[in-house]
Amino acid sequence: MQIKEATFLTSSVDPKNCPAPNKPEYAFIGRSNVGKSSLLNMLCNRRKLARISGTPGKTRLINHFLIDNSWYMVDLPGYGYAKLSKTEREKFKKMIAEYLNERTNLANLFVLVDSRHAPVKSDLEFIQNIGSTGIPFSIVFTKTDKLKPAELEKNLAVYQERLYEDWEELPPIFLTSSTSKEGREEMLRYIENINKSLV
């Protein structure tokens, strides 16, 4: 699948104000600074579709992008950003929970994980919680170009071993780099197949 047109549609502070749920929707979430905006830009082959910031925790809203006038891509606020106040963290947690529970058109949630690090508590907890809701999701390892192949393989093995402590079967896993565009074709093909199954 090739994306021909990608446009920013709207930002929402309340899930109830999101666009009508009349198109398949693919949301992206992860810890702050995991590379969500860079991944969205890479998938759409646009340099500045989603704003990239060097400041963790910059995405504070639910951002909708319309893709080829037929499906939505959604950039969700990051989780696990320690410098936010407890009140702000709770607000984002509530916003994300409401979005995930109420979006009837959510076809898949991509949970982004930084491939450079060992399993992080906030990622594991989020994945565990999502698994218990029945929401379809996939795990996307980002920034794979920052590691040597042997290091990447070792980190992935450690992560998968940790996940198998709680899971009998793992969700789909994608390896990505916004720099080398690794994983782009695989993710777009995955989205295309889901879209076809929903027709």
Higher pLDDT, 55 or 186: 186
pLDDT tens profile 43-100: 998 877 876 544 444 457 899 999 999 999 999 988 776 566 777 778 878 889 999 9
Superfamily of domain 6-198: P-loop containing nucleotide triphosphate hydrolases (3.40.50.300)
Mean pLDDT, all residues of the chain: 89
What is the average per-residue pLDDT within 147-160?
95
Q: Which of 88, 74, 83 minimizes the C-alpha distance to 30?
A: 74
Task: Answer yes or no: are the C-beta atoms of 125 and 156 closer than 8 Å.
Answer: no
Task: Answer yes or no: are the C-beta atoms of 7 and 66 closer than 8 Å.
Answer: yes
What is the average per-residue pLDDT within 168-187?
95
159 residue type, one letter: Y
- What is the domain partition of the chain in residue ranges? 6-198
| Distance separating alpha carbons of residues 147 and 155, to the nearest angstrom | 10
Residue 42, pLDDT > 50, answer: yes
